[in-house]
Structures are given as structure tokens and as C-alpha cells.
Structure 1
Amino acid sequence: MPKGLLFIQFSISMRLEGSGTETPSSDTKTALRYTADASNSHLEGTSKSYPTTEEQVGGKIGMDEPIHEQGVSQHKKAAKIHDFCLGIPFGGLVLSGGIVGFLFSRNPTTLSTGILFGGALLALSTFSLKIWRQGKSSLPFILGQAALSVALLGKHFRSYSMTKKLFPTGFYAVISAAMLCFYSYVVIAGGNPPPKKLKSATSASS
């Protein structure tokens, strides 16, 4: 074989080997670039998906403030039962007891006591009911009923100490003491609970 043909064949084979070696390197560079771009996009998506500390704190404060304000607005002390729920029956009992006692004993003192204390208790309880429906405080009427209960307790206790009769003096003394405890509870608890209409309106506005 001539030397010229050998030289041409050798140069062609070297070029083919060189092009074969360069192709993987270009593929490797392309693969590395793609991997780097994918990792950068993944890192950017991860950083965007997690909020910063300021956003977490701001969102948490923004959510907690209305809840705290609503809890404060709804939190108000009040008794579980209204004063007039027991005050009206108590006044009616005292009034009817005075009338019935007068019919049996013909004692004007019994009649006057029943009408005076029973009528006053009924009046105060009724006014307390009307004021409560208007959404106002009925504390003065509760205190008035408590004062009448104290007066009735002292009167009937003195009568029971002298006569030792369980009925009617002992009975009225026990009832008066129980009502005095009830009025004291209503005052200490914070007064009557608000009407349902006002309570629902307050909760809706808050």
C-alpha cells in the first residue's frame, strides 16, 4: 500500500476518534446545565412555598386579635336566674298569706303586714322585670327586695321566738332567709343576665 494512502487513513481515523471523544463531553456539559437549572428551580419553589417568620407572626397576630376581642366582649358576669323569677312568687305568697291570715285570725296587723310587704315585693319585682326588658340595670330594685326580705326575716323571727309556732311565723322566717340569700347571690354574681335579643345583637356586632 502506498505511503500516501496510509497517511490519509491515519488522519481520518484520528479525526473520527477525536469527534467521538468530544461528543460525550458536550453531552455531559448539557446534562450538567440541565441538572443545575432543575435544582435552582426546585430551590426557588421551596423557598416560595414556606412563608417567612414575619409573615407567620403577622398572620398569627391578625387572626388572634379578633378572637381575643370577641372573647372579651362576650365575657360578662351575670346570675343564672333573674331576681323577678322568684321575687314575684315571693311577693304573691306574702300578700296572699297576709289576706288568708287576716280571714282566720281577724288580726289587722297580719293584713297590714301582708299587704304592705307583699305589695312592695310585687311592685319591685314587676319594675325590675320592665327595666330588665329595656336592657337597663335593675340593681336598685334587687336591693329593695333584699331589704324587704331582711325586714320580714326580723319580724317573723321575733314572732317565732315569742310564740314558737312553726306556721306561719317559722315558715315565713325560713322563706325570708332563703330569699335574702337568693338576692345576695344575684347581686354578687353581677345582676340579671341580659335579654336574649340584646345578647344576640351584641354577639353579632362583635
Structure 2
Amino acid sequence: MHDFCFTIPYGLVLIGGGVFGYFKKGSTASLAGGAGIGLLLTLAGYISLKAFEKKKNSYPALILETVCAALLTWVMGQRYLHTFKIMPAGVVAGISVVMTGFYVYKIATGGNHIPAKTK
């Protein structure tokens, strides 16, 4: 599986969560954090997709995805440990730890595997 297959939906979920938090609670921190990181991840996923279409790997995008997911794991994990609220801290921390592991795996295995040309 390629990183952009999960990164773009992950980013969109974060954007949606940030916007939802803003409209439901008026939380500008939710809007800035969720939508900001979500936009960054969606952009990184798009860059990775475009590189894949050119039959190349985009390691800068993969590293950015890893850093964002690890940062969200840390921040939302800390928030969960202080509040024990499943939504949104526990869910975002859980998804982010899985995504961080996926990105580390992709880095360790050489990024997106480019299919060989068929004759």
C-alpha cells in the first residue's frame, strides 16, 4: 500500500475534525491544529501521489507525514492521559500512532514501490 492512499484520507479526517470542533465548541485551537495539520498532511499526500505518478519516490513528503503523525501522537496522547476523553484525544492519538508506525515502515522499506515497466 502506498503512503498517499492513507495520508490523504487521514488529512481530510483531521480537517473535518478541526472544522467540526470549531463549529461545535468554538475552539480556534481545534481549527488551527486539526485543520492546519490536516491540510499539511493532505498536501504531503498529494505531493507523494504526484511523485508516484512520475514513477519516483517523494522522501520529503514521507518524512513530513511521519513528523506530523508523530507530533499528533505525542500531543493528543498527552491530552488523553490528562483528560481520559476518548473524543477527540484518544481517537486521534490512536489513529496517529498507527499512521506513525505505517510511515516508519514505509521509510524502512524504501518508500513507495514503483512497479516495473511491463513489455
| TM-score normalised over the length of structure 2 | 0.95
Q: Aligned ranges for residues 159-178 of structure 1 at < 5 Å?
A: 159-178=79-98
Cα distance in 1, alignment partners of residues 19 and 74 from structure 2? 20
Give the alignment partner of residue 101 of structure 2, picking from 168, 181, 189.
181
Query: Which SS does the other structure have where 2:56 is aligned?
Result: coil
What is the CA RMSD across the aligned residues, in angstroms? 1.1
Structure 1's unaligned 5+ residue stretches are: 1-80
- Percent identical among aligned pairs is 31
- For residues 123-166 of structure 1, what are the alpha-carbon distances to aligned partners after superposition, in whole Å with 9 as ceiling and x for unaligned? 00000100111112211111110000011111101111221101
Structure 2 unaligned residues grouped into runs of 5+:
none
The aligned amino acid for 2:81 is S
* Cα distance in 2 for residues equivalent to 1:109 and 1:154: 16
- In structure 2, what is the equivalent of residue 193 of structure 1? 113
Question: What's 1:96 paired with?
Answer: 16
Counterpart residue number, 2:30: 110
User: How much has 1:111 moved relative to structure 2?
Assistant: 0.6
> What amino acid is the match of 1:173?
A
Q: Which has the larger radius of gyration?
A: 1
Deviation at 1:182, TM superposition (A): 0.5
Q: How many residue pairs align between the two structures?
A: 119
AA aligned to 1:102 is Y
SS in 1 for 2:117: helix
- Larger relative contact order (C-alpha < 8 A, sep ≥ 6)? 2
- Larger helix share, 1 or 2: 1
What is the CA-CA distance between 1:114 and the residue it aligns to? 1.3
Q: CA deviation at 1:200?
A: 2.1
The list of structure 1 runs, each at least 4 consecutive aligned residues, that deviate by more than 6 angstroms after superposition, is none
